[in-house]
Structure 1
Amino acid sequence: MMFTFLRRLALAAALAAGSGFASAGMIHVAIDTSGFGAASGYLDMQLSASAGVPLATAVVSNMVGFDSSAFIDSWGVTPAAGGYAFRNDTSNDLFHAVAFGGVLSFDLTFAGAFDPVTRYVSHFVVSAFDDNIAPLGNYDPVTGALLDVSWTPSRTAGTEGSTALDISD
């Protein structure tokens, strides 16, 4: 289950082709929750945030399997067409209600300002929790994350940033 998810996610990332100003293409994320052992809970999404860094955004769209209930705990998350936009220059956290037992999926797109010295890499982290806020899945024991997608800005204007994946298994 989780292995299939990880393999597909890695393939999607490898095939994602970036285009446009300082973007890094789209990554399709699909999480098989059938082995989580909980009927309902939350998917938590965050983009690392710090003041004074080159602006980066992560847009989550085409959300499938999510309930209508979302708790946004910051100024750095705003509703966007079919999902949410996250900013790395301020606090951001989206805690979204979900029903486990099937596949949850969404598309993730990064963009942002270039940084000639690349001092700051943004991390988009996804975690799953049951109704009692206990972590679910094969998560990283230190961070609790199922997935950490890092976005490194381009060093020159008009070129693409890049993404890297850290998938906990």
Structure 2
Amino acid sequence: MRHGFIPGARGRVRPLTLLGSPVLHTPCAEVTDFGPELAALVEDLFATMYAAEGVGLAANQVGEALRVFVYDCPDDEDVRHLGHVVNPRLVALDGVEIRGPEGCLSLPGLEAGTVRHDHAVVEGSTMTGEPITIHGTGWFARCLQHECDHLDGTVYADRVSGRRHRRLMRQVARASWSGGS
């Protein structure tokens, strides 16, 4: 991050895109312009994530179909990881696969047991175009996989199957934000 950059300090809180919106199931476009509009989007993502009390947020969750996400997420040792990634690529998944509770700001108030790898490596760049590599373990690895999924047009509910999926979809149908009863 650039010197003096305080995530969310100047950003504006944007409305969250909720499950049912087509932008959540559409792969996002690569970022090609690393100018002030991208910096403003990153600041808005941080402001929105903090306002919603999340640990990660992808650009399509605020209606922008671009490959960008932000995070402020601890790992299993309670080490804080804070940053953003532009044009991320999930380049490695290893370690054990663990089913753990997973939620999403686009499915507010809901969660389901979702299988994720315990270690993930993401490559991409900063908002100024500098290459970065991020290694995550535990909860932070789950966050990296979750946000990369968003940019590929996948929400965690798509990874849940069987009884868990049916239960989650019933909860979605009943949720006030989905237009359910």
TM, length-normalised to structure 1: 0.28
Q: Which has the higher strand share?
A: 1
RCO higher in structure (CA 8 A, sep ≥6): 1
Q: Which has the higher helix share?
A: 2
